[in-house]
A and B are shown apart, each in its own frame.
Chain A
Amino acid sequence: MEQFLFLSLSGVIDGLVYAAFALALVLIWRSTRIVNFAQGSMAAATTFIAVALIDNGLSYWLALVVALLSGLVLGAVIERVVVRPVEGGPELNAVIVTLGLFIAIQGAVALIFGVDQRAFVPPVSNRFFQVGDGFTLGLSNNGLYTLAAVLITMVLLIVLFRYTRVGLAMRASAFGQEVARLLGVRVGRMLTLGWALAAVVGSLAGILIAGDVAFISPNFMDTLIVFGFVAAVLGGLDSPIGAVVGGLLLGLALNYVRGYLDDSLLGMAALVILVVVLLVRPGGLFSTTPARRA
């Protein structure tokens, strides 16, 4: 029972990070129909920027802000310069471009920051709470911080998409580019903004993961890409709510696998889940129908 509670709590926290990462993928998929395989490298790049700043004496929070802002710029620039030419073209082109970006950015990070592992100290303690005599809760201050950061991000995104004019225009661009254009929406701008926002959310996920794993190297996000992708597909790729639920489900499932089976089965478990979802519900658990709330 104690173990189950432990695994469930840490599963929820892990799941939230997967959810954030999946959300970044969904944001991009919804607006441009591109799966951004470079999301992980982009997040690794901004996390390394944060580490470099922290190593130079900056506070964690300032470094966090700078990292998120550089994510914003990186996302916008990549959309504008590299992705725009393949948007609306054959799907394979976009896949290859984002895969190429994935490798190129990772290489650039290794060139600039080196391939050695760097320590990353989270702003709050990673130690799990103890309750009573020796009862370990699967929750730490860092876990609570992760929970808060992801939830705040989600609320901000909901406010943006539901209650602001820019969010309205972004949704319109996602649902029908041509019609939106006829109505005077600057669709190109909205796509750039979508990528920029996604990169910010991805960067946040990267930094939260870094605080969890404590040591980072240029490829430290590689497994998270797989998990984030599985979470997004689990939720249907099109649905932000689906991404969150998918992330939580995956976080729980993987923690149970880790606890009751073995650590080394994590990657395989994620892929098994992916294959089962694709076989049983190819559209994802939350596949959208036109009339449904997005």
Chain B
Amino acid sequence: MAEPPHDRTADGPDRSPTARLEMTGINVAFGGVTALEDVSLTVEPGQVHGLIGPNGAGKTTMFNVACGLVRPDSGRITWRGEELRRLRPAQLSKLGIARTLQGVGLFPGMTVLENVMVGAHRHAKAGFFSALFAIPTADKDEERLRRRALDALAELDAVEYAGRYPGSLPYPVQKRVALARALVADPELLLLDEPASGLSEDEMHELGELIRVLCSRMSVLLVEHHMDLVMRVCDRITVLDSGRQIAVGTPEEIRADPAVTEAYLGDDVDVDADAAELGGRSAAQVPASTQEGPRG
């Protein structure tokens, strides 16, 4: 479980994470309704950064800003020391950013292995036309992608499902496959959108350990309802409430922060979280997590 997923010598020297994601002064409004107001967030290299808050606080919106699905009305996003202007989802994988989706978003008509191979897409060496026409040269490439995908599945204990179709697998397995598909791209930043939803206690515990292993080679931004998981795995946590940032700090600081307790922990947290899982997303988050941002 703890082994790196693939032979890194093939793709460059071993790296420890160095890239920092900085989002500063992010403002987002959906048709006059303020979703985020002057929110800033920094994911330090190799750290797990949690993003929490009550339903409708703007977590998913912030997340979608980070991956280009929602364009902020104002604010700066800096990644690897460069400002990302007009970030689009299609650029993510090239930038070394991978995200998982609420739900799983696996391709239904493709096997588990093929699904993961799509995630490794950017690591293919053969160009578009040689892949299309020069089948022999592209063959080696195919083999490499296949190996990579199998390694990623192995890291998540899902190799045995490689030939199955996603629809025939239990939900937790589908989530592991989706995570493998994100990891196979070997990202420097992993955006995890509610990875623990639908998982049992044990599975959630395993997920927590996996995330701690992952942050030795990538930074992680984690949106999650399950407080115990967040408190256990995060290095730093940002708390949102009604689109505003009300606290940022280590799990201990967050736990001790009276503003947080009032806004969030004072609520009946579990009822809240469970309701959110049962009902899907809260109303305020829907526009952000649908296929395309309001401005496409």
Contact = CB atoms under 8 A, between A and B. Distances in A.
Do A and B pair up? The answer is: yes
Interface of A: 159-160, 163-166, 168-169, 171-172, 175-176, 178-187, 189, 193, 288-294
B109 A175 contact: yes
B188 interface: no
A182 B67 contact: yes
Contacts of A183: 93, 98, 118-119, 121, 181, 185
B131 interface: yes
Given A168-B118, A290-B167, A176 B105 contact: yes
B118 A172 contact: yes
Nearest to B164: A291
Nearest to A291: B167
B185 to A, nearest CB: 7
Contacts of B39: none
Interface of B: 67, 89-90, 92-94, 98-99, 101, 105, 107-110, 114-115, 117-119, 121-122, 124, 126, 128, 131-132, 135, 138, 141-142, 145, 165-168, 181, 185, 291-292
A114 to B, nearest CB: 36
Contacts of A160: 132
Contact of A164 (B110, B132, B181): B132
Given A183-B181, A185-B121, A291-B165, A166 B108 contact: no
B92 A182 contact: yes
A176 B141 contact: no
A184 B94 contact: yes
B187 to A, nearest CB: 10
Contacts of A163: 142
A77 B8 CA distance: 41
A185 B105 CA distance: 15
A163 B132 CA distance: 11
Interface of chain B: mostly helix, strand, loop or mixed: helix
18 contacts: A163-B142, A164-B131, A165-B126, A165-B138, A166-B132, A168-B117, A168-B118, A172-B110, A172-B118, A178-B89, A179-B105, A180-B107, A181-B90, A182-B93, A182-B101, A289-B167, A291-B167, A294-B109
A178 to B, nearest CB: 5
Contacts of B181: 183
B108 A175 contact: yes
A183 B132 CA distance: 20
Contacts of B168: 291
Interface centre among A160, A178, A187 (most CB of B within 10 A): A178
Given A179-B105, A186-B90, 19 more contacts: A159-B135, A164-B131, A168-B117, A168-B121, A171-B110, A171-B114, A176-B107, A178-B291, A178-B292, A180-B107, A180-B118, A181-B90, A182-B89, A184-B92, A186-B128, A187-B90, A193-B132, A290-B108, A292-B109
Contacts of B165: 290-293
**Which among A159, A172, A182, A189 has the greatest number of chain B C-beta atoms within 10 A?**
A182
B66 to A, nearest CB: 12
Contacts of A184: 90, 92-94, 121-122, 185
B65 to A, nearest CB: 14
Contacts of A189: 128
B49 to A, nearest CB: 20
Contacts of B105: 176, 179
B158 to A, nearest CB: 17
Nearest to A182: B89
Nearest to A159: B135
Contacts of B138: 164-165
Contact of B121 (A164, A169, A289): A169
Contacts of B117: 165, 168
A3 to B, nearest CB: 42
A288 B165 CA distance: 13
Query: Which of A163, A178, A184, A289 has the most CB atoms of chain B within a 10 A radius of its CB?
Result: A184
Nearest to A188: B90
B99 A182 contact: yes
Contacts of A289: 167
Nearest to B296: A88
B67 A165 contact: no
Contacts of A176: 105, 107
Contacts of B122: 184
B117 to A, nearest CB: 6
Contacts of B98: 183
Contacts of B93: 182-184
B90 A164 contact: no
B179 to A, nearest CB: 13
Nearest to A238: B109
A272 to B, nearest CB: 31
A179 to B, nearest CB: 5
